[in-house]
């Protein structure tokens, strides 16, 4: 996403590292959703503290709504069926190849964010 906007930085993968596991394995908001919000922020975030947040907030709400409509929730624990904060949850995740579901969530969240961004530009 950032590259499509001419933004290149070694910091980009670093700033998203803690998103995995529903935010550092807390099993809260899905990291794919958080990443999609970050992509929308690149395009519609305010440039200074006094800037308007309304267009950004509308786009973020739209993205979250689309994700919830498709998957029923944005909560990692509910999406993958285990609590990654526990050893049992981590074992379940590995034993059931749940990473494939996470990849699907990431692909769809990326598509949703890109659609929202390109619909506004077109």
Percent of the chain with pLDDT over 70: 93
Which tens digits make up the pLDDT trace of 83-118? Answer: 999 999 999 999 999 999 999 999 999 999 999 999
Mean pLDDT value across residues 4-31:
84
| Distance between CA atoms of residues 50 and 18, nearest Å | 28
Residue 57: predicted pLDDT: 96
Tokens of 79: 């999406």
Whether the pLDDT of residue 54 is over 80: the answer is yes
Neighbours of 100 (CB within 10 A): 9
- Which residue from 57, 54, 79 is spatially nearest to 67, judged by alpha carbons? 79
Residue 12: predicted pLDDT: 75
Structural domain total, the chain: 1
Q: Which range marks the domain in which residue 68 is found?
A: 3-121
Residue 117: predicted pLDDT: 93
Highest mean pLDDT out of 35-39, 67-71, 118-122: 67-71
> How would residue 11 be classed by pLDDT, with cut points 50, 70 and 90?
confident
């Amino acid at each position: 996403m950032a590259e499509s906007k001419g933004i290149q930085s070694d910091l980009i993968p670093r700033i998203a590292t803690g998103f995995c596991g529903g935010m550092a394995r807390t099993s809260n908001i899905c990291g794919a959703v958080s990443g999609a919000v970050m992509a929308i922020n690149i395009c519609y975030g305010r440039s200074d503290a006094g800037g308007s947040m309304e267009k950004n907030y509308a786009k973020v709400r739209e993205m979250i709504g689309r994700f919830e409509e498709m998957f029923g929730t944005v909560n990692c624990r509910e999406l993958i069926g285990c609590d990654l904060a526990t050893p049992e949850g981590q074992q379940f995740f590995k034993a059931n190849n749940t990473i494939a579901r996470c990849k699907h969530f990431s692909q769809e969240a990326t598509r949703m964010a890109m659609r929202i961004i390109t619909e506004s530009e077109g």
